[in-house]
Amino acid sequence: MAKDFFVGVKQIGDEVQFSVFSANAQKIELCFFSDDEKQEKRFELKKDENNIWSGTFKGVKPGQKYGYRAHGEFSPLKGLYFNAHKLLVDPFAKELSASITDWENPALCLDNNLDSAHVVPKSVVVFDDPKADKQKYPYLHQKPKTQWKDTIIYEASVKGFSALNEELPEQIRGKFSAFAHPKVIAYLKTLGITHLELMPVTTTCGGLQLKKDKGLSDYWGYNPINHFALDKRFGTTEDFKYMVNELHKAGIEVGLDVVYNHTGEFGMTHNLISYKGLDAPSYYRMDQDNRLINTTGCGNSMNTNTYITQKMLADSLTYFSDTLGVDGFRFDLAGDCALDGNTRFDANNPFMQTIRRIAHKSGVKISGEPWSATGGYYRGQMDGMMEWNDKHKESVRRFYRGDENVVPQMAGHISGGEGLYHDQKQTKYIRFIAVHDGFTAYDVVHYNQKNNWANNENNNDGSNDNASSVSSDENIAYRRIKSMMSASILSRGVPLICAGDEIGRTQMGNNNAYCQDNELSWINWKNLSKENQDLYMHIRRLTALRKGHPNFANLDTFSGEIVPSNGRKDIEWIRPDGRQMQTFDWQNPQNHILACIINGRSSEISQNKTTTPTNDDDFMILMCGNTYGFVDFTLPKAPNGENWQLVFDTTGNHKSINKNGTYTLEPYSYVLLTAKNNARQNERTIDLSFFKDKQSTK
């Protein structure tokens, strides 16, 4: 196949060309619809040697609605699903007329003769105008280009973030436009966010398990039927561009959660909406018996190894980056996308090559989940990609639940040195304690088991292992949240905050709220408790500390070697008697204390040769996973000889260092101490008192 072919819609002089790919169709018709969609005109397209079906037409204007009907053999046993009764979405359409709100309609079913044109969204003709965009949105392509080490991610649902925010005009709540509002931008800036990562924003379709009469819908949007067109639920393309423009103006990047591992067409008996009806064998993985392979748990898996799918992937990413100004992409089930034709992991398969090429060409950030839904786990092996680290989440939760045998894993997460492959000198992990999928941070410390009954799946959906537990009281609960957030944001790696966790958002124990487009999932901004306000202030303090100190805003792994300028190791692991930890301490399952000293001059011996040596203050981290009892911890001397001073203690009890040189650790606490480096003495003392203001969290 020639590698320079065009698919989609483009202007050629006074004509418009429509092109679509299908290697197995017998005939394809282009269908034009009137504005009210009541009239349909069909035109047969011609096929070329590259399996491209195309036609050119005069008088076609932007906004013209269209779709395709593909004729051919309907034989699921051969992997063929052609049914001309079904209107098909153009896989390369940049706009769709609507979202699918009637996903239970039998016309979407693939094997009947019901016409689906009244249910399926119409593709819409769009012509990009870079010159007009540059005038209208001057910051759209002036990207902040924040380095990974300085990045702080905020994962948010477009709808859920602002649907209940009464500080915003009602007409923009739950929309792209909400993120462009000055109050929201000020909130993100104050919180220290550098990268807003939006959950899926392209048009989606719910599954048959989502019963409308139960109030369920595809809230999260992880079932795309197109990888270009924005979901009308959130606004228009112009709204999106304005949002990106305003966030860029404020120095905030915009990232998208993208889903290229499966689609909303589900399995062999479900929807016929686009790819499956045009050419299932070219878009989906199939086994030797021509059945759809389901490594994603959603009924199908996109075949990222075919050229047409690679082109769709590359064109989609390029469109969002180069036309809509997007700064980064997080790939859902990236490990699944990286499977070869035999469903074996290949870090150099066409998918991985494509995204690395796009990242290099467009300068976008690339991150993703290094696993497959069916159990494949490839952490540390996704070359060129920052990886979500769910092991970090599990370890931090378990440590602050009081579990045994967690200390060694926690040390690896804090230092960035765990699970590394290929002699890496920097950690490549994104760290979090909660994301959209699973318990919120609040629910981790308030529930023993999931509570997913509202999902109408008999509480069988969602993970059963959440490393959670009910806290003895609210003081302990919020202490645990603060400690977990501290251990995540101040660890080596890239921190991610799930929207609402900074103000104690709860989903009432639902750990799989994918179908709950209601107040169960939306962030409640009203009447924040004192505990939630204090939590918010603590998160602000953590992000400020990270930004202000290269000891924290750092991806370099520690070596444990001596820094010549002061004769101390770059990181030292200390036990409660003030001495360095020994093998027994690491192997002791009853050990619930982990402490380390980070040398302010550790960058002088960085294993990563690209790191510029930078002096910082010395820091000492004390973490207590004890569920009861206090521990007097002996504080060794700081590497640079200055006295330790308290930065914060998540108990809220800002105790002084004892006269005998010890500090009293309380259960579930995270304590940060600092010793000023002489080179930084002109800096204001790190008491961060300015974070005690009463600024609104709305």
Domain ranges in the chain are 1-150+205-328+358-364, 562-692
Cα 97 from Cα 675, distance rounded (Å): 60
- Name the catalytic one among 40, 253, 327, 332: 332
pLDDT 10s digits, 18-67 = 999 999 999 999 999 999 999 999 999 999 999 999 999 999 999 999 99
Q: What's residue 143's pLDDT?
A: 96
Burial of residue 653, with CB atoms counted within 10 A of its CB: 0-12 exposed, 13-18 middle, 19 or more buried: exposed
Annotated active-site residue 155? The verdict is no
Annotated active-site residue 95? The verdict is no
Q: What's residue 693's pLDDT?
A: 42
pLDDT 10s digits, 597-613 = 999 999 888 888 778 88
Looking at the DSSP bridge assignments, the partners of residue 202 are: 230
Q: What's residue 420's pLDDT?
A: 62
Residue 335: what are its φ and ψ, rounded to 5°?
A: -60, -35
Question: CATH topology of 1-150+205-328+358-364 equal to that of 562-692?
Answer: yes
Say which CATH architecture domain 1-150+205-328+358-364 belongs to.
Sandwich (2.60)
Instruction: Report strand pairing: 670-675 vs 618-624.
Output: antiparallel
First to last CA, the chain: 54
Contact yes or no for 441/434 (Cβ under 8 A): yes
Side-chain half-sphere exposure of 242, counting CA atoms within 13 A: 15
pLDDT 10s digits, 241-277 = 999 999 999 999 999 999 999 999 998 888 999 999 9
Question: In which band, very low, low, confident or very high, does the pLDDT at 685 lie, cut at 50, 70 and 90?
Answer: very low
pLDDT 10s digits, 407-420 = 999 999 999 887 66
- In the chain, what percentage of residues exceed pLDDT 90? 87
pLDDT 10s digits, 431-478 = 999 999 999 999 999 999 999 999 999 999 999 999 999 999 999 999
**pLDDT, the chain, mean:** 93
Question: In which band, very low, low, confident or very high, does the pLDDT at 3 lie, cut at 50, 70 and 90?
Answer: low
Question: In which band, very low, low, confident or very high, does the pLDDT at 628 lie, cut at 50, 70 and 90?
Answer: confident
Instruction: Assign domain 562-692 one CATH number from 3.40.50.970, 2.60.40.10, 2.60.40.1180, 3.40.50.1380.
Output: 2.60.40.1180
- Name the catalytic one among 369, 387, 585, 642: 369
Question: In which band, very low, low, confident or very high, does the pLDDT at 689 lie, cut at 50, 70 and 90?
Answer: very low
How far CA 398 is from CA of 100, 109, 394, in Å, comes to: 41, 45, 6
Q: What's residue 679's pLDDT?
A: 57
Enumerate residues 6+ apart whose C-beta is below 8 A from 171.
none
Tell whether the model's pLDDT for residue 690 goes beyond 50: no
Contact yes or no for 573/591 (Cβ under 8 A): no
